[in-house]
Structure 1
């Protein structure tokens, strides 16, 4: 179940730099054990990065995904993926399909585009830090 996102939180996220949104994404995903994608009747939505690479965009909360789903994406709905399923199935599958992850894109920024295993490592580092505290 997703947490409540305040208007102030949403506004703050829009002003973050890409690296800050990446770190915010990792922290929220570790805290809430889920992340969000956009889907339509054909499945998971993908985008093409500035470098012409196919990416799956992900967000830490459904409201961010919903805010991004405009124009060509207006038929899309946010869908939760548990962190456990993401790490076990999505990361290896994306790697096999040569897909990247667009972490926490906003209306005017693609987000940080990374290899799925890079994101997995960032999440695992954050989880390890959490266990030590």
Structure 2
């Protein structure tokens, strides 16, 4: 279940630190919420952080949509079910050597983590 964010909610979440944005996304996944990434005609979008390929993920479609411009103007947000994320995406990304850029903002790349580390965060209480 998702809801539309108000402009105030968007700004409040955007203003959180990278670590706080990471924790927020983990809480949503633990609650069974979908997360969002971007897809183009060539597939799921990757970004680079310190030379490492990363899959950017966001907690709400509005944040993914905010990145649909410039080089990513042809992209569309895609929802990833929490169960599919944990059972298929994280192991697949780990096997492919792709890290995660968690909830990047326009000013900050966000927390960059290995898929196994996110899986550990998801299983923590």
TM > 0.5 between the two?
yes
Task: Report if the CA contact (8 A) 2:2-2:33 is conserved.
Answer: no
Q: Report runs of 4+ in structure 1 exceeding 3 Å deviation.
A: none
In structure 1, what is the Cα distance between the partners aligned to 2:83 and 2:32?
A: 11
> Deviation digits for residues 60-119 of structure 1, max 9, x if unmatched?
111110012221111111101111111111111111110000000011111100000111
- When normalised by structure 1's length, the TM-score is 0.88
What is the number of equivalent residue pairs in this alignment? 125
Moved more, 72-81 or 26-35: 26-35
Matches for 1:13-92 after TM superposition, within 5 Å? 13-49=13-49, 51-92=50-91
Give the number of the structure whose residues are more often helix, by fraction: 1
Gap runs ≥5 in structure 2: none
Task: Report if the CA contact (8 A) 1:2-1:32 is conserved.
Answer: no
Gap runs ≥5 in structure 1: none
In structure 2, what is the Cα distance between the partners aligned to 1:62 and 1:12?
A: 16
Cα RMSD of the aligned pairs, angstroms, is: 1.2
Matches for 1:76-115 after TM superposition, within 5 Å? 76-115=75-114
